[in-house]
Structures are given as structure tokens and as C-alpha cells.
Chains A and B, each alone.
Chain A
């Protein structure tokens, strides 16, 4: 399966603005800046207030533009593009509704440390503040969900602001930056514009390496410990430090558990891997956290889905925390040794000191737990498809370098648990904000960057409907993403909470035709149901390949066909409806209190 190969190689000659100063339009400065920053693709949607930039955009030979069907789609595409490549994702939108439609994506990227530059058109400077047509206070609205934002007030500032925006987005803890450009500034001319080589940010400092004494102190603590544990997060992916982490863990013989955002930072096939920790983590990862004597957090931020009840988290452990963001240190949990810097550099420094620790007994104990408490589920009936089984089959049939995206809900957790992640930047998910509708556009964005690779969105039947309009984008741009819907006919994750904590009062969570509330016996079944929309037919209506699978025997052939053809494909898999995700630590409970569910 391949998409149309795109010959977008590294940008060659620098554009005019950098070398020979000349009069340039604001709109042209934007395009030149994108080229200068190495932007190969931008996602977005036009409108009156950004039309000047689009007027220049399609004259650029270096920038591919992907026209979406909803600005939220553009945001998640840029996120998928950025996460799968490590580059900055770029989005262009118009003022007012165009810009407000980016807010969810900004909040998502801000939480999950995704580098984005979003350029929005704004009404002309003299109209600002007058409730002009399609005016919104974009810097005001986006301030709390961006790493930084700018309203450009003079065309003279534009080149430096754009240079700063890219720098801020990609360095330190990465994040989204908005540059709001009024229409008159896009039309204004700048004499002698030069694209600056350097950002001008006197107040912005990134600490790249931790002081060496601190690294020594951390290593001494680890070396003296009996039960060390590495808790690796998304920061290891951001830092491209998976190799260094592997070296460190294997050299020192320390087990590794990863967060949802850190999946792929350490190969899950390795005996030292404990898979994911936290609310839906493995029993053995959480037991290891509760038993370890030194917890080494690397690029992870002690999220409450990880720690459970904080006062009972890792009760026996000294805590070492490596993070590039000083405000992340001791935010939720008091830290004993703080290592502020880039995870790659910190791990390199640690590797210079590391040798094998005395951990054989500890690793042995953990291995016993692994055998005692594996992830497990039961099959029932010959043809029923358990969601966990579905994920295992996708994993078995997909190549090692496949990129997996997910939406948000039970299917996301089952993917985290049952898909075996072995490489960084192959897992795209919305962890911090938990944005339904993230996965499909994120997969499209990743496919743009990796035309030759298999990109799969593992979707829920609820979430997929939040950005399903992007099928048109994928079809017209020849982006052969594979959407596998784990269809349970529910907003399953919410239903699970209602099941466990609200006496099965399934209020507003059933997505198929509502049944009389008196008849709860029919809840778990597909009997007599006909899902609307018919996803397979909808896919066909968009010009994609679509198939509904309701029997286990049909599953493998359908997946194989979809994975080998070169079209956008959608497989709607009807799974056992009332399945819950286990293990589970109820929100706010201690990690010791895992619900193991059925065995």
C-alpha cells in the first residue's frame, strides 16, 4: 500500500527575503518564513481575512497545502504530522470562526506538548475592537491554550515574530503558538525585509542539560537502590531519546514503564518493559510503582491518571525527575533530585556513569508478577469479536513501522494495552485533553508525512463521527489511511463509568437506536440493531473502501484486504458491546486499589 509519493525533499535554495532585501508584501513574508523554517506542508481552510496569504501560498513550490473540511481537522492533522515527524505542524485559518474552530486543537497540542504554528487572519487593524464582521479576540481567546501568541501590529515586526513563533513552538517543552495577522498587515509592504537568523526573545531561556553534579547525585541514588523503576513519558519522544533510554535501562538493568504519551519510548517486546502504568495500566507496572525504592521519571509529568491518589503514590520511593520544564518539577509530587534539561542530554550524561545495578532479584520479582497478573480477557461465542482481540489482530497484521492513531475512549485504552509498541513516533493519541475526534485527522496528517507507511486510526463509533468529514480530505489527497472502528454502539468509556459507579444508569450514552429503559437485558447485544450511519456505506459515498465486519471469521480477511490496498479504507467492526476496560484504578483511588474485572 502506498500513497502517491510526494517529492517534497528538504528545501533547497533560500527564498528571496533572506538574502537580498527587497520590498515584500506581508502575505509574502508569511510564505517566505514558512519556507525558511523548512515547512513542507501546511493544513488549513481559507476565508476573507487570510485570502492574501492564500494568494501567495499557491505560488510557493515548496509548500504543499492540504485543504481540510473543518479547521479542527487541520489542527489534529498538523498534530499528527508533528508528532510523527518531530517537525513543527503549520495551520492557516481565517479570522473569527476559522480561528475559534482551532481552539480545541490548540488546547490539545498545549497539553500534549505538540509543536504547532497557527497563522490566523484578523480583521484590519483600524477595525479591531469594533465588533467587525468575523472579528474575534483571538489572542485573548487562545492565551490560556497556547505556549505563546502574537497579534501583529506592524508589518515591520512580522518577520521577527514569525521567527520567534517557530523557535518557541519547537524548543523547550514544545507547544502551539498562534500568530494573528490583520488583513491590512498582510497587504502592507515591507521595504528591505530580512528574515532574521535568530529569534529575539530576551526572556525565553531553555535549559538543555542538567548540572553534572545533579546527574551524579541521581546516579548515586540509583546505584544504591535495590528496586529502581523508570517511568518514561512523552518527553522522551519529544527529545528523540528512545535510543538513549534503551541504552540506560538495559545497561543498568532497570525495568521501564511508560505513560500513555510515552508508548513506544521503550520497546514493549523487551523483558524489562512493564507496558503502561496508571489508571488502565498493567497490574505489574502499578505494583512496581508502589514497591520501587527509586522512581526515575523521565519526560513525564505525574498526571493524575498516572498517580491516582497522590499521597499514596510510590510510597517507598525517592523520586528523580528529569524534565525540560522547571514548572513541571514538584508540581504534583515533591521531587528528591531534579534534573532540568533535555531528556536526550540527561540520558547521555547518565549513560556515561551507568553500569549494571544490583537488580536481579527485583527484575525476578517483577517477572513473577507479569506471569501472575497478565493482561487478559475471555472469548465468548465462536463469532463474537472482543475489542481486545480486534486490537491484537490489527497489531499482528500491521508492519512494525505502522503508525497507529486512536480516538478517545475504551478503544484507546485497549489499543494502549493490546497493541505492542516498539518504536517512538508511531503512536498518536490525545492524552492530556482526551479529545474525541483527534485520531482520524491525526492519522491523515501522519500519512501526509509518511506516504509509504501504513497509518491506522483505531476509532470508537462515537469519536469517529466528530471529524468524519475529513474523509473527503483523505480521498482527494490520496491519503490511504485505514480506519478501524471498534464499534460497540456506545460512548463506551462513559458507559463503563455509569456501569461501575452509577448503578448502570446508562443516561445518554447509547449511540444505536435507544431502547425502552425497562428492558436492560437487551443492552449488551447487537440483536435487532442497525447502526446509523452505516459507516461502510458512508465511506463508499466519500469514494473510499468500506466494509462492515460482524463475525470473527470475517475479520482477518477484511483487515488484510484493507491493509494491502492503496485507498482510504474504513472497517466497521461490531464488537462485544458491554465490555469494560480492565485493570482499572478508580479515579482518585490509590494505585493499590486496582479493579481487575473479570479474569
Chain B
């Protein structure tokens, strides 16, 4: 029975792709272009060199359905510069995923500062900058933790947020399948 590959399995899911690519100029544009050309969304994307300077690692969080995940996987693998593609459901317990965040919070009196400091301690966050009007909090964690921290800081007045995007890694010796 011929079923439309674009119609079945429309349950909404979210995958984290780890992509190892050759560290050449234009690779990021190629990957980003693939998503825009085919109409897939990117929720977050982070790129940096790996232990091998010739290789970069991208972590891409992609929302969609099962068929989109399968096409994204095939299309990423098809790029000439791609060395490896792995993907996991964001709920998969076999991966560790983290994001770093910088939050500038309004803190113009001593009580507020003390309170913010306490919140930071609870979340094992750090105060990395202090000015007369504001403090910058730095935190690292999974999505749940980041979300909770932001909620706690919200009442003080969040002036600015910078997030790194998620990076992730499979547990155990190697993610190679």
C-alpha cells in the first residue's frame, strides 16, 4: 500500500542531532541552507571545533515528525562535508545535554542582590558581573534547570539573556552506532 511519506506518523517529536563535519568555510551555511531549503525548523544550533581541529561538531535540535527526522538524517549524511550523523530523541536517557546561559538581572539594592545570590547558589550558578544597577548570572544545566532558574529570576526584572544553545553527548564509551 502506497502511503504518503509526508502524511503518516505526524506525532510531534524533537531530536538532537550531533553532526561531525569537516572544519571548512561554508559548512555552516550548507547545513543551515539545507534546513531552510527544505522547510525544516531548527530550534537551536551550536557549532565549534572538536578535539581534532579539522573537525567541527554541530549540535542541532530539530522539532518535527518522524519522517522529518528521517529526511534530516539522510540529507545531513548526504552533504559532502559531513563525516558522521547521530540523532537521539531529546527524551533519550542515553544522552547528556546541557546549555549555558547568561542572565542580566536588575539589582539596584542590597536585599535584591542577596536574594539573587541565594537563588544562584541553589542552582549552582555564578555571579560573573556586578554593577550598580544589575548583576550577570551564569548557569549551566539541562533544559529543566535553565527554565526553573529563569522563572526564579523573573520577578527581579530580567534585562538581557544570552543562551548558548544546547550541546549534547551520548553516555558511555562512544556514540558510534
Contact = CB atoms under 8 A, between A and B. Distances in A.
On whether the two chains bind one another, the answer is: yes
B71 A332 contact: no
Interface stretch (A93-101, A315-323, A478-486, A522-530): A315-323
Residue with the greatest number of chain A CB neighbours at <10 A, chosen from B5, B71, B82: B5
Contacts of A153: 25
Interface residues of B, number: 28
Contacts of B124: none
A148 B24 CA distance: 13
B71 A331 contact: yes
Given A143-B30, A316-B1, A319-B2, A334 B8 contact: yes
B82 A203 contact: yes
A329 B26 CA distance: 27
Given A148-B80, A203-B21, A327-B75, A143 B4 contact: no
Contacts of A318: 1
A333 interface: yes
Contacts of B80: 147-148, 168, 201, 203-204
Nearest to A143: B33
Interface string B70-81: 110011011111
A534 interface: no
Contact of B4 (A139, A202, A311, A319): A311
A58 interface: no
B122 interface: no
A317 B71 contact: no
A333 B5 contact: yes
Contacts of B8: 334
Contact of A313 (B2, B26, B74): B2
Contacts of B25: 151, 153
Contact of B70 (A144, A168, A202, A330): A330
Contact of B74 (A201, A311, A326): A326
A151 B78 contact: no
Interface in B84-102: none
Given A143-B30, A201-B80, A333 B3 contact: yes
Interface string B29-72: 11001000100000000000000000000000000000100110
Contacts of B75: 327
Contact of A334 (B5, B22, B79): B5
B22 A139 contact: no
Interface string A143-168: 11001100101000000000000001
Q: Indicate the size class of the contact surface on chain A.
A: 20 to 34
Contacts of B5: 330-334
A456 interface: no
A203 B1 contact: no
B83 interface: yes
A169 to B, nearest CB: 11
B4 A333 contact: yes
B129 interface: no
Contacts of A139: 26
A310 interface: yes
A391 interface: no
Contacts of A203: 21-22, 79-83
Contacts of A314: 2
A295 B8 CA distance: 20
A202 B83 contact: yes
Given A315-B2, A334-B5, A144 B79 contact: no
Given A144-B33, A327-B75, A334 B2 contact: yes
A319 to B, nearest CB: 6
Contacts of A168: 80
B131 interface: no
B6 interface: yes
Interface string A194-214: 000000011110000000000
A316 B70 CA distance: 25
A327 B33 contact: no
A154 B15 CA distance: 38
Interface in A163-209: 168, 201-204
A558 to B, nearest CB: 47
A325 B78 contact: yes
Contacts of A144: 33, 37
Contacts of A329: 74
Given A202-B22, A203-B83, A334-B5, A327 B37 contact: no
Contacts of A201: 80
A198 to B, nearest CB: 15
B133 interface: no
Contacts of A204: 80
Task: Rank and list the top 5 A-B pairs by shortest CB-CB distance, nearest first.
Answer: A327-B74, A310-B4, A314-B2, A148-B80, A203-B83
Interface of A: 139-140, 143-144, 147-148, 151, 153, 168, 201-204, 295, 310-311, 313-319, 325-327, 329-334
29 contacts: A143-B26, A143-B30, A144-B37, A148-B80, A151-B25, A153-B25, A168-B80, A201-B80, A203-B21, A203-B22, A203-B81, A311-B2, A311-B3, A311-B4, A313-B2, A315-B1, A315-B2, A317-B2, A319-B2, A325-B78, A326-B74, A326-B78, A327-B71, A330-B70, A332-B5, A332-B6, A333-B2, A334-B3, A334-B5
Given A310-B7, A329-B74, 7 more contacts: A203-B21, A310-B6, A315-B2, A327-B77, A332-B5, A334-B3, A334-B5
